[in-house]
Amino acid sequence: MNASTIKPRVAVHKFSSCDGCQLALLNLGEDLLTLAERVELVHFAEAGPLNPDTDVDIAFVEGSVSTPEDLERIQHVRAHSRMLIAIGACATSGGIQGLRNNADGAQWIAQIYSHPEAIASLQHSTPIARHVKVDFELWGCPVNSRQMLAVVNALLLGVAPRDNADKVCTECKRHGYPCVMVTRGIPCMGPVTRAGCGALCPGLGRDCYGCYGPAESANTDALAAQFAHLGLTPQAVAQRFQSINSQAPVFLAAAGKARTIRDE
């Protein structure tokens, strides 16, 4: 076979997550069929192919590292992947399960399961980049089909993929949505949150809650001050940053500052 006709080998791996980011690939519809003609999907349990141990050119990883088995498996995935891309909030910041990082996880398990000793769970839920080299991160909870297709197309063209690092506020302006914080006094995370969702929540008249993670140059101090001006208590301000991307360093620091104010 001519080298130019060899398709890039692609794997999609799931760690601790809900599968939502993998669905972004499945939801491509006809574009997924076209993609399948351009790459060889060697491992994608959600879609059928099962071969997690083979060497691949591109590995997409969904989910956080939350169990001892995850710790071992992510090293194996990295060793067998030329390029590793973390997709979604769980993979990039620990996800919603990262909320347990500041709590007594063992106590939660004991309250839920009749045999807690059967649950193998790490004390913390951590992003993929905490453990192995990540070549690119795609933020979102979940990421969307448009993002996934853009990344794959960029890689197939041999160029570095790019993610939208603008703020949700820019998307509101493009769509002509009125600012819910200015017009209705609703605390909104849009000024510090990465764009990519199409300003879905503000477009429906409600506040952004930060599911796409922190934007570049996010001024969390100014937003926290605005939240306080709108009447939120320091605890409520901290909770705004302690959501889906609570372990993203920018949001984690903002929540810590708010808690400091509360404790004074």
What CATH number corresponds to the domain at position 97? Answer: 3.40.50.700
pLDDT single digits (tens) 160-212? 898 888 999 999 999 999 999 999 999 999 999 999 999 999 999 999 999 99
> How far apart are alpha carbons 116 and 161 in whole angstroms?
43
pLDDT single digits (tens) 11-57? 999 999 999 999 998 898 888 888 888 999 999 998 889 999 999 99
Query: Are 251 and 172 contained in the same domain?
Result: yes
Query: Are 112 and 188 contained in the same domain?
Result: no
C-beta neighbour count of 190 within 10 angstroms: 25
Query: Are 91 and 198 contained in the same domain?
Result: no
Last residue of a domain, one of 98, 128, 157: 157
pTM of the model: 0.90
The set of long-range contacts for 144-149, using a CB threshold of 8 Å and a minimum separation of 24, is 144/24, 144/196, 144/197, 145/24, 145/25, 145/27, 145/28, 145/31, 147/24, 147/196, 148/24, 148/25, 148/28, 148/87, 149/28, 149/31, 149/35
The pLDDT score that the predictor gives to residue 251 is 96
Tokens 């429906």 belong to residue: 204
pLDDT single digits (tens) 46-99? 888 999 999 999 999 999 999 999 999 999 999 999 999 999 999 999 998 898
Residue 259 belongs to some domain of the structure: yes
> How far apart are alpha carbons 225 and 244 in whole angstroms?
21
The pLDDT score that the predictor gives to residue 4 is 54
Query: Are 177 and 131 contained in the same domain?
Result: no
Query: Are 140 and 29 contained in the same domain?
Result: yes
Asked if the bond preceding 127 is cis, omega within 30° of 0, the reply is: no
Residue 162 belongs to some domain of the structure: no
Q: Number of structural domains, the chain? A: 2
Residue 54 belongs to some domain of the structure: yes
Last residue of a domain, one of 157, 180, 197: 157
Sign of the CA dihedral with 49 first, then 51, 54, and 58 last:
positive
Last residue of a domain, one of 129, 157, 185: 157
